[in-house]
């Protein structure tokens, strides 16, 4: 088991009202699996992904990666873990505008002390993702689809075991979205696990799908109901 999430909960406040953006959520993801998370806007997808990425602290519950509790690590250890094991493709524009495409991609390599260099790997990624010609460009000169590819290359820089992608094909035309889906499929075929929040049915066909509503996974709700029924019987 690569990722195991138990009873995860995150509450937010809006005015007087306190609500759970992620509510008692449980999830399992096997090594090399491709899992898509569907759900309406505001259902809690990004909140969940940010907790898995170690960026937002849950109010309760646990996230185990390779059996290690993420939030049992202190801040520097969790940051090092994220840098080593996880690639994150955040929702929306996430590239640093003052760095070239190549330097954006190389950045995760340099965030933690490690030996060797990043140039060769970054070049290999730009070739593979079809963005070699953009290496010297800056994000402001890229199309939406090109930016996504750069963000994907950056997520792959440290050869992570899991890539989290938050709406990677959102706002792309159908052809470009299909190209993104086939890219993710190829990468998954090489053993990298994916957890993808999306509204794109094309991506849903690449693996297992989950649906989240009001911070809860729907089949998890059914499982709870089943348990309640069997308790009554
Ligand atoms: N920092 C915050 N403070 C208060 N409320 C928040 C905060 N972040 C998110 N929320 C609320 O939590 C709920 C879940 O938000 P989230 O961003 O996880 O949704 P989402 O499923 O990713 O939506 P989308 O498909 O639009 O990206 C929403 O109602 C949102 O307004
Ligand atoms: Mg979101």
Which residue from 10, 16, 21, 51 has its CB within 8 A of the most atoms of ligand 1, so it is best to mutate? 21
Confidence of residue 224 (pLDDT cuts 50, 70, 90): very low
Q: E-assigned strands of the chain?
A: 3-14, 17-29, 34-38, 60-65, 68-69, 86-89, 162-166, 193-197, 208-213, 216-217
Closest residue (by CA) to atom 19 of ligand 1?
42
Residue 70 is encoded by which pair of tokens?
């993420």
Number of the ligand 1 atom closest to the C-alpha atom of 14: 4
Closest residue (by CA) to atom 27 of ligand 1?
41
Round the average pLDDT of the chain to a whole number and report it: 92
In this prediction the pTM is 0.92
pLDDT value of position 64:
96
Which residue from 44, 89, 165, 215 has its CB within 8 A of the most atoms of ligand 1, so it is best to mutate? 44
Q: How many CB atoms lie within 10 A of CB 61?
A: 18
Assign 3-class secondary structure to 24-69.
Answer: EEEEEECCCCEEEEECCCCCCHHHHHHHHCCCCCCCEEEEEECCEE
Residue 122 is encoded by which pair of tokens?
């970054």
pLDDT value of position 219:
75
* pLDDT, mean of residues 181-200: 95
Q: Does the Cβ of 45 fall within 6 Å of ligand 1?
A: yes
- Output the domain CATH number for residue 107: 3.40.50.300
Q: Does the Cβ of 25 fall within 6 Å of ligand 1?
A: no
Count of domains forming the chain: 1
Q: Which residues pair with 63 in a beta bridge?
A: 5
pLDDT value of position 220:
56
Confidence of residue 229 (pLDDT cuts 50, 70, 90): very low
Instruction: Please write the tens of the pLDDT for every residue from 100-131.
Output: 999 999 999 999 999 999 999 999 999 999 99
Judged on CB neighbours under 10 Å (0-12, 13-18, 19+), 112 is middle
Q: How many CB atoms lie within 10 A of CB 153?
A: 25
Above 50 in pLDDT, residue 47? yes
Range of the domain at 29: 3-232
Q: E-assigned strands of 138-192?
A: 162-166
């Amino acid at each position: 088991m690569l990722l195991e999430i138990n009873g995860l909960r995150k509450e937010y406040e809006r005015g007087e009202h306190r609500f759970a953006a992620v509510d008692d959520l449980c999830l399992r993801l096997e090594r090399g699996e491709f899992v898509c998370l569907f759900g309406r806007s505001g259902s809690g997808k990004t909140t969940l992904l940010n907790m898995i990425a170690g960026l937002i602290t849950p109010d309760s519950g646990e996230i185990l990666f390779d059996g290690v509790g993420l939030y049992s690590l202190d801040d520097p250890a969790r940051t090092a873990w994220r840098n080593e094991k996880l690639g994150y493709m955040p929702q929306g524009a996430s590239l640093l505008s003052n760095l070239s495409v190549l330097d954006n991609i190389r950045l995760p390599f340099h965030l933690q002390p490690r030996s060797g260099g990043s140039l060769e790997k970054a070049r290999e990624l730009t070739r593979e993702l079809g963005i070699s010609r953009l290496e010297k460009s800056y994000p402001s000169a890229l199309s939406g689809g090109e930016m996504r590819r750069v963000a994907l290359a950056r997520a792959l820089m440290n050869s992570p075991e899991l890539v989290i992608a938050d709406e990677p094909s959102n706002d792309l035309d159908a052809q470009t979205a299909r190209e993104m889906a086939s890219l993710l499929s190829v990468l998954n075929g090489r053993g990298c696990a994916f957890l993808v929040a999306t509204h794109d049915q094309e991506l849903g066909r690449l693996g297992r799908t989950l649906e989240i509503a009001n911070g809860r996974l729907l089949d998890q709700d059914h499982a709870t109901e089943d348990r309640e029924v069997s308790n009554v019987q």
